[in-house]
Amino acid sequence: MKGIQLDLISEDKLDGMTPMEKVRLILDEVRMGKILVLEKGLTPTEQNKLIELTMTEIAQDDFSGIEIESYPVKHNDTFFSKLLGKSTLKTRLTVIGPAAQLKTIRKDRDLISAMVSP
Amino acid sequence: MGIIKNMGLKFKWLRRLFKKKRARIGIYGPPNAGKTTLANRIIRDWTGDAMGSVSQIPHETRRARRREGVTIESNGSSVTLDIIDTPGLATRIDFHDFMAFGMNEEESKRRAKEATEGVIEAVKWLDDLDGVILVMDATEDPYTQVNVTVIGNMEARKLPLLIAANKIDLPTSSPARIHSAFPQHPLVPISALEGQNIDHLYKEIAQHFG
């Protein structure tokens, strides 16, 4: 059967990886044409690393970059965090694929609608 | 807002007294959102110069441009900023997109290469800023990954962020859509091109980055 491979990566697996391991895994898999769905999204620092590394790997006739879409981060505010003026941010589901094959159609706070082309 | 944080605000004058330097503010956003048009507007209004050239072709700005010591006065308060106009952030750059604007292949590939370097530079600048003006095209869907990434970065660093909902001179613009997407951040609807509501933006800049 021919088609696009879709890998769903659990929060547990992501939690066990360093930022660089995550970024490397994402880029290697996406460059092979896979679509990744991360149960827990990347931190802002990891997103920056991913963008930077993606830019260095763009090759004119081979790889034009990635399409990445995630829900906006959630603020996990508890009574104590409010008291201390410190809120924690929770990253959310993220979809990443080759820019040439994955195209976002519509996105809002709780919905990502995308098209995948072979 | 936290009680302790509220208490901190009362000592704002004390923080100002010991403030280390003038704030370094980055102008961020996706390609073609109007970042350089806004930078030019601010620099022209307060210094009489310009920052850089603008174009309909994406990634016209491929190197960050910096202007130091821009003093903005509004409602009796004044703030002096170093303003950094950054290249548009993106996760994909395809040279074919530039060819659609009439560039030849060689020129398009060179521009694409420079654009990738510009994106890296823009990302690196995030580490050295005191605040961000995030320029969003108010005619477009606000939930782009660039917007989500910049906002996430500023929230994680606890740095001030001001959203400029640009292009309100266009009939399809909807600053309300941006506000409903990111209600936790201050937003000013503007037209950087026409100068609409720009005084309100200066007032917010003086308030948030001062």
CATH topology of domain A6-116: Translation Initiation Factor IF3 (3.30.110)
A56 touches B: beta carbon within 8 Å: yes
B116 touches A: beta carbon within 8 Å: yes
Least trusted range by pLDDT, from A81-85, B112-116, B176-180: A81-85
Cβ within 8 Å, pair A44-B145:
no
The stretch B96-104 carries a mean pLDDT of 92
Cβ within 8 Å, pair A89-B155:
yes
**Is the per-residue pLDDT at B11 higher than 60?**
no
The stretch B31-42 carries a mean pLDDT of 94
Q: Candidates 1.10.490.10, 3.40.50.300, 3.90.1150.10, 3.40.1050.10; correct CATH number of B21-89+119-209?
A: 3.40.50.300
CB contacts of A81 in chain B (<8 Å) are 2
What is the DSSP code string of chain B?
--HHHHHHHTTHHHHHHT--S-EEEEEE-STTSSHHHHHHHHHHHHHS-------SSTT---S-EEEEEEEEEETTEEEEEEEEEPPPP-SB--HHHHHTTT--HHHHHHHHHHHHHHHHHHHHHGGG-SEEEEEEETTS-S--HHHHHHHHHHHHHT--EEEEEE-TTSTT--HHHHHHHSTTS-EEE-BTTTTBTHHHHHHHHHHHH-
Q: Which residue has the higher pLDDT, B163 or A73?
A: B163
Q: What is the ipTM of this complex?
A: 0.87
Long-range Cβ pairs for the range A10-13 (8 Å, 24+): A10/A39, A11/A39, A11/A40
Per residue in B118-166, pLDDT (tens digit) is 999 999 999 999 999 999 999 999 988 899 999 999 998 889 999 999 9
Q: Give the domain ranges of chain B.
A: 21-89+119-209
Say what the pTM is. 0.87
